[in-house]
Structure 1
Amino acid sequence: MGLKHSSSLFLFILFIFFFLSSRVCSQACLKTCGQIPIKYPLGTGSGCGDSRFTRYIKCDPDQQTLTLTTHTGCYPITSVDYTKQIIYVTDSSMSTCACTRPSQGFGLDWDAPFSFHDDTVFTLLDCSVDESPVFKPLSNSTGRVSLCDRQSSSICNFLYSNCRAISLINLQESTCCVYVPLDLGPSFEMDLQKLRCSSYSGFYNLGPAQESHPENWNYGIALKYKFNVFDEYPAVCGGCERSNGACGYNTQTSSFVCNCPGGINTTSDCFFLYNSASILLPWFSTGAWMMYPLSWVVIWTVMSLP
């Protein structure tokens, strides 16, 4: 009889530890997507990160790529600077020194929780001098004047003279227009069809030493974001991430939750998982998960054995 009790106890405890290991090895909200670390306010899916960002930023679990989605398309996110709160994206339809191609433009949704970073510069390519609204007719009808940034005309010069992909198709430099995101207006919309331009280039962090080398520019779009109105990092989220958790939210109430290893959600942090004297067991009457001292589990097991 004693041997039977010992065997049953051993099998039960073995089952518990195997069950726990399977629960702890995975986490519903991922910490990375490909090579990009994921931190608040970004998330990898529904219930992860900040609910305002979930609609626009997602992680493809198969391709392991983080993407930004707007009404103009889907764009791969190349990196995230969490210190400066900047998201860097790329557009496959954008013209660069490597390849020049037609594009429809790029735009952000009006209610998106981010905007163009000040370091982002756009260059409209091959714009119609006669029809594009970026060229305003003179009052005496003797010609048209550019509404673009005249102080940045050197960018067009280097782009058209030192960029082989553009020079090969013989675009005219006079049809080039440089402007910053502020000129897009409140809708953050760049509709090349309405602007009567065939393509565009976007780049960021363009320093004076790099201006004459368009082949080395950082092609892409830099977007800035804020945590909230006062741009304050939530203290409860900091505690969650320090305990190896991922900040998220309740999909029904939108209230904060800390997603812990094993897909367990709490309203604070995951430090309870590291109490070696405790073990996680389901509380069947409520469907919740509760922490119990390991000694209690052994006592309950022995008492329940026949």
Structure 2
Amino acid sequence: MTELEDFELKIMSSNKEEEGEAKTILMASKDLKNILWDKYQALLTLFSDKKTKTEIFKGMKKIEKIVYPSALNTMWTGIDFSSVRAEIPRLSDDFFDYPFLQDIWRLDLSNKKTTEISDKISQLKNLKEVFFNHNDSLPKHLFSIKSLETLVSRFNNIQTIPDEIQNLTSLQGLNIADNPIEVFPKVISNLTNLTWLNIKNTNITEIPEEIGKLTKLEQPNFENCRIKKLPESFWQLREFRYMLFSFSNLEEIPDNLPDYPRLDKFDIRGTNIPQDRIEKLIDQFGDKVSY
């Protein structure tokens, strides 16, 4: 466990007086490496003004660690802007210039009305998770993060997914639920490392045959979608653990399904699957079927 004495600067409050004192110390401490900050909000407040950031970090290139008591033994591995009240319409180049950002693996920009992100985001080689909910778009440079493994983009009022999403070759989880998307992009089938895919509450009506390329897919969530039928290539995938179709328009499931040895749940509640087909599914999968 890292001890408090190891930190050259300890800021234990977010009031204006201590923010001012912290700013003075930061500007005078060009060799500062470690900062303990008890109030995360204060850190964001102090750094929210571009002029202040420039003053603070002018000549300071040695910051290695910014931590707070809930994670004293960790690097600053995630940035969560979702609790910050102000909107952040743009993440510009200067935001990505600070050395300590190179270690972050999680970025949450939910509810920030962000429409622009600098292409420098691609320099964050350890960034693995991005949460981008309740915004109005998907900035194109999100698709340049080669290390990204999880992208969650719900309630964004997006109608189409750019083809550039196929550049996220490390992606393992994709959640684009609760958007008025009508067409399932075929290029998603090029994301062959996907293990879970959530298109719940979209307007998608058809899944292309190419989905059969997602051989690692474990958790498809097609709940409350307008899909009536899925291609044969989908049903031949073998790694399914959770198959979620509840309250979708699904009305057909082919005979002779594989046994899906890893299956835990096959949810077809509220669908249009005929009763006789449901009974055969129960015969094959037992209590794993929810109907």
Asked whether the two chains share a fold, i.e. TM above 0.5, the reply is: no
TM range (shorter): under 0.3
Bigger CA radius of gyration: 1
What TM-score do you get using the length of structure 2 for normalisation? 0.22
Higher strand share: 1
